[in-house]
Amino acid sequence: MTDPARHLRMLRPAKGVLAFYDGRDGHRFARGANWVDDGALSLGIASYAVVSGAAALVYDTHVSRAHAARIKGWLAAEGVRDITVVLSHCHLDHIAGTAEFAGCEVVANARTAAHLARDRAAIEAGSLSGLPAIAPLVLPDRVFSGETVLQIGATEVRLVEANIHSDDATVLWLPESGLLLAGDTVEDTVTYVGDPAAFATHLADLARLAALSPRAILPNHGAEAVIAGGGYGASLIPATADYIRWLTGLRDDPARQDTPLHEAIAAQLASGALTWFAPYERVHAQNIARSLAVLHG
Domain presence at residue 1: no
- pTM, 2 dp: 0.97
Strand-strand pairing, 105-109 and 142-144? parallel
- Please give the backbone phi and psi of residue 232, each rounded to the nearest 5 degrees, phi first: -90, 155
Mean pLDDT of the chain: 97
> What's the number of domains the chain is made of?
1
Domain presence at residue 205: yes
Length of the chain: 297
User: Looking at residues 233-257, what average pLDDT do you find?
Assistant: 97
pLDDT tens digits, 78-93: 999 999 999 999 999 9
User: What's the pLDDT band for 44 if we cut at 50, 70, 90?
Assistant: very high
- 62 by DSSP, 3-state: which? coil
Domain presence at residue 2: no
* 175 within 8 A of 62, measured Cβ to Cβ: no
Burial track 192-201 (b if 16+ CB lie within 10 A, e otherwise): bbbebebbee
- 4 by DSSP, 3-state: which? coil
Strand-strand pairing, 105-109 and 216-219? unpaired
Domain presence at residue 4: no
Domain presence at residue 113: yes
Domain presence at residue 269: yes
Here the CATH number for the domain that contains residue 63 is: 3.60.15.10
Q: Residues 46, 119, 137, CA angle at the centre, nearest 5°?
A: 55
Parent domain of 132: 9-295
* 67 within 8 A of 36, measured Cβ to Cβ: no
CA nearest to 284, candidates 257, 252, 266 = 257
Which distant-in-sequence residues (6+ apart) come within 8 Å of 187 by Cβ? 43, 165, 219, 220, 221, 222, 240
The number of angstroms, rounded, from the C-alpha of 44 to the middle of its chain's C-alpha atoms is 10
Is the pLDDT score of 1 beyond 60?
no
